[in-house]
Amino acid sequence: MTIEEQSTGTATSTAVAPEPAADWPTSPGAVQGPPSGNELSVLDARNVSAWFGSHKVLERVSLTMPAGQVTALIGPSGCGKSTFLRILNRMHELVPIAALAGEVRLDGDDIYDRRKKIQDARKDIGMVFQKPNPFPAMSIYDNVVAGLKLTGLRASRDEKDELVERSLTSAGLWKEVKDRLSQPGGGLSGGQQQRLCIARSLAVRPKVLLMDEPCSALDPTSTRVIEETMVELQKEVTIVIVTHNMQQAQRVSQQCAFFLASQGTPGAIVEHGDTEAMFSEPQDERTYDYVNGRFG
């Protein structure tokens, strides 16, 4: 099912009304950690175009984001990377004037299928934003389990305790905060807050984790810790990251896609493929110029 058919050539809004909450399974062991290696998922975008009003910002973008790998989206500001990322978990449609065309498939299933609850898409495909956004007055513990409420899931106290430990451990934060879980999340350092946000996303057991410049507001030490966390997390979830840091893209990703918009044209993928190959032997001259710092 396409996200938005264009037979008339006119883009229309894709806003979807919220669905009612679902119950969290209450059987013993219902709350589990992130997916194991044999459950890793593939995210596939097919001919995705996007608009804000009459302004077209993406042009027929197709990209497969392989299971258990980090895919880095690179390119200069304004080329549609973050818009594409938001489309991957149905956040684009939150903008009243936004519209799109094409398909986004998770393990072959269309996430924009009208029969699919929007909460399911957001649960399966989590998002970590550029600026850490924990709930500052809420405890570290409650920040992690807040993801359950946001996606309409329920769990017992024992299940929550187990989930908090597993999520914080996966985010590389458990050892640092295990003795102060009742303290406000806003009291953590910037890097710790970002890892808390990662833990909050992991709490609902996503199949894919989207990260929009997660280190841009962090110091080099915190950036290194976040990158190490990403390397570990790819064993559990498929990751897609937007970054302007070319060295970071090389360090953490296995696949890379170079977006570009020029002279008022919509953003599109110039080249994509193996990260090492794209940085050492790019096939397009524009890719070579960008990864070597000649523009952007």
Q: What's the confidence (pLDDT) of residue 296?
A: 63
Q: What's the confidence (pLDDT) of residue 19?
A: 35
Distances (CA, A) of 150 to 21, 91, 120, 264: 9, 14, 11, 38
Q: What's the confidence (pLDDT) of residue 253?
A: 97
Report yes or no: 113 and 107 within 8 Å, Cβ to Cβ: no
Q: What is the pTM of this model?
A: 0.83
Q: What's the confidence (pLDDT) of residue 140?
A: 97
Q: What's the confidence (pLDDT) of residue 22?
A: 33
Residue located via tokens 């409420």:
149
Q: What's the confidence (pLDDT) of residue 2?
A: 42
Q: In sequence order, what E strands does 13-168 have? A: 43-52, 55-65, 70-74, 98-106, 109-110, 125-128
Residue located via tokens 């200069």:
76
Give how far the C-alpha of residue 183 lies from the chain's centroid of Cα atoms, to the nearest Å.
27
Query: H-type helices in the chain, by residue range?
Result: 81-87, 118-124, 140-150, 157-170, 174-177, 190-202, 220-233, 246-252, 275-280, 285-291
Give how far the C-alpha of residue 22 lies from the chain's centroid of Cα atoms, to the nearest Å.
23
Low-confidence ranges of the chain (pLDDT < 50): 1-38
Domains of the chain plus CATH, in order, are 37-135+207-291 (3.40.50.300)
pLDDT in tens, 68-107: 999 999 999 999 999 999 999 999 988 999 999 999 999 9
Report yes or no: 39 and 245 within 8 Å, Cβ to Cβ: no
